[in-house]
A and B are shown apart, each in its own frame.
Chain A
Amino acid sequence: MLAAGDSPVHKLHPSAKLVVTIAYIIITVSFSKYQLNGLLMMIIYPAFLFSSSGVTVGTCFRKLRFILPLVLAVGLFNPLFDRAAMIKIGNITVSGGTISMVTLMLKGVFCLAASFLLMATTSIDNLCAALRQFHLPPMMVSLLLLTYRYIGVMTEELSVMTDAYSLRAPGQKGIKFNAWGSFLGQLILRTMDRADELYNSMQLRGFSGSFTYADCKRFDRRDALWIVLWILLFLICRFLDIPGILGSLLLGGFS
């Protein structure tokens, strides 16, 4: 349970982390497809969170291993369609397609890492409490929370069924194709039954459609500062060509 950590990032108000993550994703996505320079600066946010939250980069990439290939596949064909030369590094000419491919991949990886870091440093209940503070409809927030819980129930049942299958199919790798239909059907029926039981249990304890969330800590000056500073930094990265300025400074462009 990464969200149960005790780092300064974990202690921030969930609303502050949510706002900054949303702002980060919007600003990251808004970079144009050839703006690789500026986009690279956006690594600051995930890098800072990794170093200060105790969540390791390895954990992040291990947890995201099934989604990352899909994200990396985005823009894979750009170099084939956009062959116009864009920059030259020594004797190597880099096409616009290659730059746009890398930009798209980085956007995906950065956004995924930021979302992962939000989830890894904030419990789902606190996150939902924050969403309610932003006046999102209770039904929508409850749906999000219940979906999250349902995934847990489903994976638990899946693990029990997979174990039962493999114990009666020694030496067999995975589940045979012709058993997929009944396996999936059983899985859905079992998870529906369990979800039904859980729902009954909730109803019997007074649940009437919206969760009463545990109290979040108070939103204080530190949380406000977190939001302001990060958004300011994102905007600077977005609208100023920091690598260009740094390059000019280093090469004496201002002299």
Chain B
Amino acid sequence: MIRFENVTAFYENDKPVLNGVSFTEEKGETIGLIGANGAGKTTLMRTLLGLLPHEGLITVDDIPVSEKTLPEIRRKLGFVLQNSDNQMFMPTVYEDMIFGPLNYGLDREEVDARVDDVLTQLNLTELKHCYNHKLSGGEKRMAAIATILVMKPEIILMDEPTSALDPKNRRLVINTINEMPETKLISSHDLDMIWDTCDRVILLNRGTIVADGSAKDILQNKELLEDNRMELPLRFSNP
């Protein structure tokens, strides 16, 4: 479970980029974080991961996020970055996948078994020994998800998981997200994808929560979305 209580976050020597943010995400829930550019979606995730300093209380399974608890917190969280190139830093998909589990001290046999399981689950077995720099955008995104799933995190954070993907790969990512039983926090401008994957939506504007409710209530509220520099999802905007 994730809890934010009156959280304010800063970039160095700058004004706050998150302002008094409070919400709770229950186990197994999937929340979509939406908002215009600069609304604070990525900042919220980075704060949760302890990559940005904050004031207020953030807890993950009742463990407060602090310098001291970061290793424990990060073990519970898996973060899929917006740019897969920044996530995949080892030469091959396999080496990238074993990086996290080996760092957490798992033995090699278990790691290999997990790698095979995840690759089978995502239909990526043929990519196992491929070089990361030779993968297509869609393959890279799926491989980036695989590097996170193999760590078996309890909560998965995804930053713009469908950006720059063609329709087929986008659908593949959406289906994959829907098949993942973990608690998920997904940030995106792709409101149709949010509709397809999230039960609940949090709308951010200039670092504060403007609305927090069911996907049905928020994503069909034209006035609310337009007031916050957004538009209805395509499926609702067509005459």
Contact = CB atoms under 8 A, between A and B. Distances in A.
A98 B87 CA distance: 53
Given A194-B86, A204-B74, A205-B100, A215 B91 contact: no
A215 B108 contact: yes
B91 A1 contact: yes
B108 A206 contact: no
Counting chain A residues whose Cβ lies within 8 A of the other chain, the interface size class is 20 to 34
A203 interface: yes
Contacts of B98: 214
B66 interface: no
- Most B-side CB within 10 Å, residue of A123, A198, A204: A204
B111 to A, nearest CB: 10
Contacts of A208: 71, 103
Interface string B92-112: 000100111011100010000
B147 A205 contact: yes
B198 interface: no
Contacts of A204: 49, 74, 77-79
A11 interface: no
A197 interface: yes
A205 B151 contact: yes
B23 interface: no
Contacts of B91: 1, 123-125
Contacts of B22: none
A207 interface: yes
B74 A203 contact: yes
A82 B104 CA distance: 62
A197 B77 CA distance: 17
A222 interface: no
A125 B95 contact: yes
Nearest to B88: A201
Contacts of A149: 89
B100 A206 contact: yes
Contacts of A198: 86, 89
A197 B151 contact: no
Interface in B52-86: 71, 74-75, 77-79, 81, 83, 86
A212 B100 CA distance: 9
Given A1-B131, A206-B103, A201 B95 contact: no
A194 B83 CA distance: 10
A214 B95 contact: yes
A9 to B, nearest CB: 19
B49 A207 contact: no
Interface string B111-148: 00000000000000000000100000000000000010
Contacts of B86: 194, 197-198, 201
Contacts of A203: 74
B89 A202 contact: yes
A200 interface: yes
A32 to B, nearest CB: 42
B89 A206 contact: no
- Most A-side CB within 10 Å, residue of B74, B95, B98, B103: B103
Interface of A: 1, 4, 123-125, 149, 194, 197-198, 200-208, 212, 214-215
9 contacts: A1-B91, A194-B86, A197-B81, A201-B79, A201-B86, A202-B99, A206-B71, A207-B103, A208-B103
Interface of B: 49, 51, 71, 74-75, 77-79, 81, 83, 86-87, 89-91, 95, 98-100, 102-104, 108, 131, 147, 151
